Amino acid sequence: MEDRRRDRELIQAAIEARKQAYAPYSKYLVGAALLADDGEVYQGCNIENASYGATNCAERTAFFKAVSQGKRSFCAIAIVGGPMELGQGDIFPDMAYPCGVCRQVMREFCRPDFRILVGRSTEDFQEYTLEELLPESFGPRWDHRDA
Ligand code: THU
C-alpha cells in the first residue's frame, strides 16, 4: 500500500511537470517524474522547436536533468500526456507511452527491472518494466545484466 502511495505521488509529480510543457506545435503536453535511487525526483516536460526535429521529450528532459546533476541510478519514471486543453484535475484520454528514443535513453542508465508508470490520473496507471517495453535491446557494455 505504501508503494502504491509513492507511485501515486510520482504520477502527481508528472502531472505537475506537464504544466511547464512547451508544445505550441503538437499541442500535446507531456510530463515526467524520474525517481533516482537516492529518493530525489527529477521532473521533465516536452520542449518543442520550430524545427520539429529539435524537440525534446519529457522523459529525456527528466533524465538529462538528473544525469547532468551527477545521478546515474534510477528506480522508476512516471509519465502522463494529453492534449493542451486538459489540465491538472482531468483524466487523460490515453496512457502516454515513452517513445523509442526515450526507451533507449532509459536503457543507458537503468536496469531491466526499472519501473515505467504510465498514467491517465493518479488513480489510473499501469506499470511496466524497461525490459517489457524494450526487449532484446542494445545497451552499454557495463550493463548491469553482466554484473
Ligand atoms: N512526447 C514526449 O514528450 N514523450 C514521449 O514519449 C512521446 C512524445 C512529446 C514530443 C512532442 O512534443 C509531443 O509529445 C508530440 O509528439
For residue range 32-70, list pLDDT tens digits in order.
Answer: 999 999 999 999 999 999 999 999 999 999 999 999 999
CB distance 32 to ligand 1 below 6 Å: no
Written as one string, the DSSP assignment of 96-123 is -PPPHHHHHHHHHH--TT-EEEEEEETT
Q: Which atom of ligand 1 is nearest to the CA of 47?
A: 12
Whole-number pLDDT of residue 142: 67
> From ligand 1's centre to the CA of 72, what distance in Å?
23
> From ligand 1's centre to the CA of 2, what distance in Å?
30
Q: What are the φ/ψ torsions at residue 48 (nearest 5 degrees)?
A: -90, 175
Whole-number pLDDT of residue 108: 97
Q: 33: which residues sit within 8 A by CB, 6+ positions away?
A: 10, 11, 13, 14, 16, 17, 41, 42, 43, 44, 62, 77, 78
Whole-number pLDDT of residue 1: 64
CB distance 64 to ligand 1 below 6 Å: no
Q: Check: CB of residue 98 under 8 Å from CB of residue 134.
A: no
Catalytic residue status for 85: no
Q: Give me the catalytic one of 59, 108, 127, 136.
A: 59
Which residues of the chain carry a pLDDT beneath 70?
1, 142-147
Whole-number pLDDT of residue 86: 84
> From ligand 1's centre to the CA of 100, what distance in Å?
11
Written as one string, the DSSP assignment of 10-58 is HHHHHHHHHTT-B-TTT-EEEEEEEEETTS-EEEEE-B--SSGGG-B-H
Q: Check: CB of residue 66 under 8 Å from CB of residue 27.
A: no
Whole-number pLDDT of residue 145: 53
Q: Check: CB of residue 59 under 8 Å from CB of residue 42.
A: no
For residue 77, list its beta bridge partners.
Answer: 34, 116
- Which of 20, 34, 55 for mutating ligand 1's site (highest number of atoms within 8 Å of CB)? 55
